[in-house]
Structure 1
Amino acid sequence: MGKSRRTIPEELLLLALDPTTGTTAQPQSLDLGLAGAQLVELALAGRIAPDGDRIAVVVPRPTGDPTLDCALELLRRRGAPVRAVHWIGGPRLGLRQTYLSHLERCGMVHAVAGQMCGVLPTTRYQATETAISREIRSRLDSAIRTGVPPDPRTAALAALAHAVGLGKHLYPGNEGRSSRSRLRDLIRHDPMGGLVAHAVMDVQNGVAAQPRRSPATATATATARKPDRVTAAETGPGRIPMQPRRGSMARAVAH
């Protein structure tokens, strides 16, 4: 896979970057969204495919993108299809920083050092290629405004943007309510994007342990639960509780 085209994880991260503050909107759910966006990108590249609510590797050949190929290899090592919620809910430490660093190397953002509360060192990221961010946003706006079914990449990006809660960031206030509703509706235009987006919402709402019965059932469950209540995604070995992050004395990175 050549680097002439931006990947969906990169586009999702650029959408989440606030051009004024250099912070990322919805940082906790965004990490889940980036893991899900990798699945969508691998599916578009023909490397994986949905198998019910699971993800199966169909072509283990590398894509040429190191970050995507790492995810593909981890999926391949599973040996059997893995449930999307289990994959997305697993530990993905450093994934957001990996993509921020990549965008910096590509010249699309630049790092700005600072301090939090005058003590903790922080790094914020300002977009340098604002035309790229505007083009990504324009694609979403066009799909929302025209009602014309978008291409699979835009549909998947819209689904993930809704799943991680970027709707209020992109279309704030009462005047953005109809746009947020249409953004949510775009989830139906890409099966893989829809599967992954529902999995992201399931992990946030702590329902990853139950098999998905149908998209309608999952949507009703997600609506019934409080959106900011996150519980353990899974209690088996190798899983971590998906809980709100508290303060840390570690280096703070763009959130």
Structure 2
Amino acid sequence: MGRSRRTIPEELLLLALDPATGTTAQPQSLDLGLAGAQLVELALAGRIAPDGDRIAVVLPRPTGDPTLDSALELLRRRGSPVRAVHWIGGPRLGLRQTYLTHLERCGMVHAVAGQMCGVLPTTRYQATDTAISREIKARLDSAIRTGVPPDPRTAALAALAHAVGLGKHLYPGNEGRSSRSRLRDLIRHDPMGGLVAHAVMDVQNGVAAQPRRAPVATASGPGAGRQPASRVAAEPAGVPAQPRHGSMARVGAR
């Protein structure tokens, strides 16, 4: 994958960077969003595809982006499609820092060393060219303002921005309420972005989404209809079954 175009994880992180403080908004949910953004980017590159509420590798060939290729290899090693909610909810230690370091290496941000309480060392990141962040946000603004269906990349970025809670960072206060609502509505314009965005929100809500199964035929006669028409599939070991909170395959606003 060439470097002529920024990836969705990079754009999501640039949107989250606060130019005043050098910190990222919604840091905990942002980590989930970056993992989801990798899935969207790999799908746009033709490496993976949705399979119901699961993600399947369809072309294991490397993209040329080391961070994306690492995620692609992990997916390939699974050997079978993995649920998006389980992938996004898995450990992603250091993913945000990996992308911050990458953006610094590309010259899009620079690190500023500091201290917290005069003792603990900290690092903040400032955008070197705020025009890049403004251009990214302008694409979202245009989609919100015009109502014209955005391109898949912008639609997916909007879906992820909403899912990780960046709406109140990008469009704060009461005056931004309608923009936040329209940002949420952009989820429906990209199926993969919508799938991943709902997975991110399900992980934040502590929900392990379950696929629906076809109704089980029941015998006729006395007592017919008293048995449940369907059963919930068991979760993999170590993942407790939880109530269904909405279909991940559904693409729509929450």
- Smaller-chain TM-score range? 0.7 to 0.9
Alignment-derived partner of residue 112 in structure 1: 112
Pair 235,76 (structure 1): closer, same or farther in 2 beyond 3 Å: closer
Aligned counterparts of 2:5 and 2:111: Cα–Cα separation in 1: 22
Letter in 1 for 2:210: P
Alignment-derived partner of residue 142 in structure 1: 142
* Corresponding residue SS for 2:121: strand
Aligned counterparts of 2:162 and 2:182: Cα–Cα separation in 1: 10
Letter in 1 for 2:149: P
Q: Which structure 1 residue ranges, 5 or more long, are not aligned?
A: 214-233, 240-255
Aligned counterparts of 1:212 and 1:88: Cα–Cα separation in 2: 17
Alignment-derived partner of residue 228 in structure 1: none
Alignment-derived partner of residue 161 in structure 2: 161
Runs of 4+ with deviation above 2 angstroms: 234-239
* CA-based RMSD: 1.5
Aligned counterparts of 2:71 and 2:43: Cα–Cα separation in 1: 12
Matched, 1:65 2:65: yes
* Corresponding residue SS for 1:110: strand
Aligned counterparts of 1:120 and 1:212: Cα–Cα separation in 2: 46
Pair 202,212 (structure 1): closer, same or farther in 2 beyond 3 Å: farther
* Corresponding residue SS for 2:33: helix
Alignment-derived partner of residue 41 in structure 1: 41
Matched, 1:11 2:40: no
Aligned counterparts of 1:52 and 1:238: Cα–Cα separation in 2: 19
Aligned counterparts of 2:108 and 2:25: Cα–Cα separation in 1: 18
Alignment-derived partner of residue 211 in structure 1: 210
Q: Which structure 2 residue ranges, 5 or more long, are not aligned?
A: 213-234, 241-254
Pair 212,134 (structure 1): closer, same or farther in 2 beyond 3 Å: farther
Q: Larger % of helix: which?
A: 1
1:90, 1:238 within 8 Å by CA — same for their partners in 2?
A: no
* Corresponding residue SS for 1:112: strand
Question: Residue 118 of structure 1: CA displacement?
Answer: 1.5
Letter in 1 for 2:139: R
**Map of 1:85-104 to 2, 5 A cutoff?**
85-104=85-104
Matched, 1:26 2:20: no
* Corresponding residue SS for 1:19: coil
Alignment-derived partner of residue 231 in structure 2: none
Matched, 1:82 2:82: yes
Scaled by the length of structure 2, what TM-score is found? 0.84
* Corresponding residue SS for 1:172: coil
Letter in 1 for 2:184: R
Question: Residue 120 of structure 1: CA displacement?
Answer: 1.1
Alignment-derived partner of residue 202 in structure 1: 202
Aligned counterparts of 1:124 and 1:167: Cα–Cα separation in 2: 22
1:55, 1:84 within 8 Å by CA — same for their partners in 2?
A: yes
